[in-house]
Amino acid sequence: MAEEEDLADMPRVVGVLAALLERVTERNDAAAAELELAVAGAPAASVFRATTKPDITVRAYMARIARFAGCSPACYVVAYIYLDRLLRRRRRACAFSVDSYSVHRLLITAVLAAVKFMDDICYNNAYFAKVGGVSLPEMNYLEVDFLFGVGFDLNVSPETFGHYCAVLQSEMLCLELEPPPSPSPAPAARLHCFLSEDDTSSSGSTQHQLAA
């Protein structure tokens, strides 16, 4: 798709984040399928969960956001931090993960929150709703739920920003060194730990749902 090809002209963080979320989504889709076979029942309800899988890929959706949102590259790192914070908090209350049904709404809402916090000038919710392919009332509702989901914890310290940048840089190197796919089963995906202000050392840290 043209939008996927446009990732080559975007800041590298856009492509790296798209690849990471794509892999996380595929992994969680597979885990959800196995769980459905073992346990009958509907998945946990969430405003971010669509009733059907969007036709657009994560990579193409990310390229669309990057093309039309007009935000600074730092916003994508901050959006990544917000997603991790949301998943940490939601994990304590109910089963919630980034999968094919939720990743698009989570992504557009996280970028919207990051843009408003980081950039001096940004588009309004009506514009982001059109970019994300949702209605304005839905975009407003997603934003409010997201803010409550992260506990209105939008501040990002330089140390935290640096930690997440390091994770994304590591992911970028992995993508560059990644061998072509083989028909044989691949080993289990690497697990990255996403650090917050309270997680400044690698020892004793816990894995989070956005780990890839």
Per-residue pLDDT of 79-104, as tens digits, reads 999 999 998 887 755 556 788 999 99
Q: Is the pLDDT of residue 199 over 50?
A: no
- Per-residue pLDDT at 177: 64
What's the CATH superfamily of 1-176? Answer: Cyclin-like (1.10.472.10)
- Per-residue pLDDT at 194: 42
- Per-residue pLDDT at 196: 39
Give the span between the Cα atoms of 13 and 172, in whole angstroms. 8
Q: Please calculate the CA angle 99-49-87 and round it to the nearest 5 degrees.
A: 60
Chain-centroid distance, C-alpha 123: 20
pLDDT tens, 111-143?
999 999 999 888 999 999 999 999 999 999 999
Q: Which residue has the higher pLDDT, 195 or 35?
A: 35
Structure-token match 């690497």, residue found: 190
* Per-domain residue ranges of the chain: 1-176
Q: Is the pLDDT of residue 24 over 50?
A: yes
Q: In the chain, pLDDT over 90 holds for what percent of residues? A: 47
Q: How confident is the model at residue 6 (pLDDT cuts 50, 70, 90)?
A: low
Closest CA to 76 of 151, 150, 159, 167: 167
Give the span between the Cα atoms of 101 and 44, in whole angstroms. 12
Give the span between the Cα atoms of 98 and 199, in whole angstroms. 22
pTM: 0.77
Continuous H helices in the chain: 2-5, 12-38, 58-69, 73-93, 103-118, 125-132, 136-149, 158-177
Q: How confident is the model at residue 195 (pLDDT cuts 50, 70, 90)?
A: very low
Q: Is the pLDDT of residue 31 over 90?
A: no
Closest CA to 80 of 58, 104, 107, 100: 107
